[in-house]
Amino acid sequence: MPRIVRFNQLGGPENLRIEEAPSQQPGKGEVKLRVQAAGLNRAESVYFHGRYFEKPDLPSRLGYEVAGIVEAVGEGVDSAWIGKAVATVPGFSQNRYGTLGEEAIVPVGVLGEYPKNLTPVQAAAIWMQYLTAYGALVDAGGLRTADFVSIPAASSSVGLAAIQIVRDLGATAIAVTRTSAKRAELLALGAHYVVVSDEEDYVARVNEISGGKGARITFDPVGGPFIAKLAEASAPGGIIIVYGSLSQVPTPFPLVPAMTRALSVRGYTVIEVTQNPAIAKEAKKYIFDRLADGRFGPKIAQTFPFAQTVEAYQYLESNQQVGKVVITVP
């Protein structure tokens, strides 16, 4: 029987269990994957802690992002998928389609083929991060060449994808990180500038970097009270795109700077891309082409074997990593 990861109570990674479960067959519109690698996401951590917008039905599986081989297809699915190397695009229910394990059942619509120059480990670290960044920066933000773009939590896999997209489109990437420990690596990974928010005056530094213009786009997964500083350093007519709540505290609306600077503040998830076929098609081609020719490349922070799933999520929650944490599955 295939091994899967499940949890029976809410809390930290220590509650995750590797268990054997009967093999499943795909239903209508579904495929079965033999999983080779799994990319870890903050959404899963928040999910098993019970703080995600989707509440787990215990016992619950988890996992959004895997790379693997299609082994079987359900009713209504083209059999040409069988044998293809694919990676999943997040945006489905973890309750129903948790993917972390040796086998996964997923809707065919969440599959994305990946360039042959990528390994399964790399493929498990592409679609969520690049699609999330593309949809926010290009579609929602209307990224332009002259823009200064502020990227809090820049060492995350989404933050690094955002840096690559900003550079690719000719704009200026300002990586924001809490401590100086990650400064050199962020610069090496493509950030034009790095602002260390716990050690520097964020507003003053962004104004210095931008020549007083401010950041036209701010791409923030943190939320919380620091949004006041993000707003103060924004360009007139700028936009703050909030795509997460890593702070785990309420995010106040920055009323005065929003009014005086005519700012837009809006929430965002990758579902805006995945549920819009036209945008998804354009975004996937843009990302695929750049992964295939080497302009883009996912940064893997560390890999863990499947047996060390608990340790992998503990490392994710430590915030030490730069890039993606990936589990390899035998």
Question: For residue range 243-263, what is the model confidence (pLDDT) as tens digits?
Answer: 998 888 999 999 999 999 999
Q: Is the pLDDT confidence value at 62 over 90? A: yes
pLDDT (tens digit per residue) in 29-54: 999 999 999 999 999 999 999 998 89
The whole-angstrom separation of Cα 172 and Cα 159 is 14
Q: In this structure, are 235 and 217 located in the same domain?
A: yes
Distance, in Å, from the CA atom of 52 to the CA atom of 7, rounded to the nearest integer, reads 15
CATH number of the domain encompassing residue 166: 3.40.50.720
How many CB atoms neighbour CB 256 within 10 A? Answer: 11
230, part of any domain? yes
d(CA 200, CA 70): 49
Model pTM above 0.85 = yes
For residue 157, name the pLDDT band (cuts at 50, 70, 90): very high
CATH number at residue 82: 3.90.180.10
Task: Please check the confidence at residue 233 and state whether its pLDDT lies above 90.
Answer: yes
Residue 279 near residue 273, CB atoms below 8 Å: yes
Enter the DSSP assignment of 225: T
Q: What is the CA radius of gyration of the chain?
A: 20
- Examine the fold and report which residue of 233, 257, 272 is the final residue of a domain before the chain moves on: 272
Domain range for 108 is: 3-126+298-328
Confidence of residue 184 (pLDDT cuts 50, 70, 90): very high
User: 35 exposed, middle or buried (CB, 10 Å; 0-12, 13-18, 19+)?
Assistant: buried
Are residues 25 and 95 located together in one domain of the fold? yes
* Measured distance CA(111)–CA(88) in Å, rounded: 5
Question: Are residue 135 and residue 189 in the same domain, yes or no?
Answer: yes
In the DSSP assignment, the letter for residue 139 is I
Is 111 in the same domain as 137?
Answer: no
In whole angstroms, give the CA distance from residue 130 to residue 119. Answer: 17
* Residues 115 and 133 occupy one common structural domain: no
**Cα dihedral 273/277/282/285 (nearest 10):** 100
Q: pLDDT at position 248, please?
A: 86
183 and 203, same structural domain? yes
| Assigned domain for 283 exists | no
Q: Is residue 286 part of a domain?
A: no
Average pLDDT score over the chain? 96
Look up residue 28 and give its two tokens: 């209508």
Q: How many residues does the chain have?
A: 330
- Please state, in angstroms and rounded to a whole number, the distance separating the CA atoms of residues 299 and 322: 8
For residues 38 and 64, the answer to whether their CB atoms sit within 8 Å is no
Q: 174 and 239, same structural domain?
A: yes
- In degrees and rounded to multiples of 5, residue 193 shows phi and psi of -140, 155
277 assigned to some structural domain: no
Could you tell me if 52 and 121 lie in one domain? yes
How far apart CA 87 and CA 110 sit, in angstroms, is 8
Q: Please state whether beta strands 324-328 and 300-305 pair in parallel, antiparallel, or not at all (unpaired).
A: parallel
Q: Is residue 75 pLDDT above 90, yes or no?
A: yes
Say yes or no: 202 and 318 in one domain.
no
Question: pLDDT per residue over 94-131, tens digit each?
Answer: 999 999 999 999 999 999 999 999 999 999 999 999 99
- Asked whether residue 322 is domain-assigned, the answer is yes
- If one counts the domains in the chain, the total is 2
